[in-house]
Chains A and B, each alone.
Chain A
C-alpha cells in the first residue's frame, strides 16, 4: 500500500517527438519487409533445391 502511494503515475516518462515516432514506424516497416523478404527467400530456395520432383513422389 505504501509502495503504491509512493508511485507517481502522473509522470509521463519518455515522450517521443513526432519525428521520433515517424522514424520508429519507418524502422518497424523496414523490419517487417526484411522478414517478409526472408520468408520469400526460404520459399524460393526450397523450390529450387527440391525441384518439381517433390510433387512426383510415390503415394
Chain B
C-alpha cells in the first residue's frame, strides 16, 4: 500500500495512495485549530467594536483555515522528523497516506484562500496579521529555527500567540495595547508548555535531531527555565485587568490558575528522578492546556456577565 522507505537522500514517502478526509483534517492539526479559534474569538469579543455575527463567524473560519494551512505546511516540511518521533509517526505523511506535495498544495491553497477571504470580507489589517502568522510559523519557526536552536519555541511561539490579535484586528481594524496583552500571555505560556512535553519526550527529540532545550542544555536547565517562565506568566496573566480589558473576577481566576501553574513548575524543578519526574512534567503539560482555555474562558465569561449586569464587575 505504501512506498515508504529509506534512501540515500533521507526519508522517501509514498505517492498516489490518496488520503481520506480524516487524513486531510489531521494535516490541519485540529486540536491546535480549536485553541486558535477560541483565543481569536475572545480577542474578537473583547474588542470595543462589534462585528456583524455573520462576518464574525466568517472571520473565525478564515482564522481557523489559516491555522490549518500552517499545520499542513508544517507537516509537509517536517515529515522526516515526524517519521522519527513516536508522538508524530502516525501523522498522514509519515504513514504514507498523503504525499508530501499534496500536503504542500493543500496548505498553500488554504493559506492563500483564508488570507484573501479575510482581507476581502473583513479588513486587510487582520488579513495581513494572518498572513504574517502563517509565514512566521512556516518560514521562521518550521524551516529556520526548529532544527537550529533550543530557542525555537520561544521565538516560534509568537505564531501561536497572534490569533487573539487577529480576532481583535478583525473587529477594530487595528492593533492595540489590550490585544498585545493577550498576545503576551500566550507568548510566555508557550515555552513552559512545550518544554514540559520535551522533558518526557527528550529521547524522541534527540533521535529526530531537534535541538529542544532538554536535548541541548539538559533537563536541569530546562526545569529552571520552566520555573522562570511560569513566574513571568503569573503577573502577565493579570495584564488584561491592569490595562482595563478585564475586571476583578478575571484577576482572581488568573491569580489562581497562575499560582497552580507556578506550583506545578516548582514540582518539576524539585522532582528530578525516575517516573515521578516524568509524572510531574506530564502534569504540567496537561494543566498548561487547561490553563490557557480556562484563562481565556474567564475573559469571555466575565465579558458576557458584564453585558448581562451592565459592566459592573470591573
Contacts and interface: CB of A to CB of B under 8 A. Distances in A.
Interface of A: 14, 16, 20, 23-24, 26-27, 30, 41, 44-45, 48
Interface of B: 16-21, 24, 52, 54-55, 58, 61, 117, 121
A46 B39 CA distance: 27
Nearest to A41: B58
Contact of A27 (B18, B52, B117, B121): B18
In the A-B complex, list the 5 residue pairs whose CB atoms are closest, starting with the nearest.
A23-B18, A48-B54, A20-B18, A45-B121, A23-B20
A27 B21 CA distance: 6
Contacts of A30: 21, 24
Nearest to B16: A14
Nearest to B51: A48
Contact of B58 (A20, A24, A45): A45
Contacts of B121: 41, 45
A45 B20 contact: no
B180 to A, nearest CB: 29
B16 to A, nearest CB: 7
A44 B19 CA distance: 32
A45 B58 CA distance: 9
23 contacts: A14-B16, A16-B18, A20-B17, A20-B18, A23-B18, A23-B19, A24-B18, A26-B20, A27-B18, A27-B19, A27-B21, A30-B21, A30-B24, A41-B117, A44-B54, A44-B58, A45-B54, A45-B55, A45-B58, A45-B121, A48-B52, A48-B54, A48-B55
Contacts of A20: 17-18
Nearest to A45: B121
Most chain B beta-carbon neighbours within 10 Å: one of A20, A30, A48: A48
A24 B21 CA distance: 9
B99 to A, nearest CB: 13
A46 B150 CA distance: 48
Contacts of B19: 23, 27
A24 to B, nearest CB: 6
Contacts of A44: 54, 58
A48 B59 CA distance: 14
Nearest to A16: B18
Contacts of A24: 18
A23 B24 CA distance: 11
Given A24-B18, A44-B54, 9 more contacts: A23-B18, A26-B20, A27-B18, A27-B19, A27-B21, A27-B24, A30-B24, A48-B52, A48-B55
Contacts of A23: 18-20
Contacts of B16: 14
A20 B24 CA distance: 15
A33 B172 CA distance: 31
A44 to B, nearest CB: 5
A48 B51 CA distance: 11
A44 B53 CA distance: 11
Contacts of A14: 16
A33 to B, nearest CB: 10
Contacts of B18: 16, 20, 23-24, 27
B175 to A, nearest CB: 24
Contacts of A48: 52, 54-55
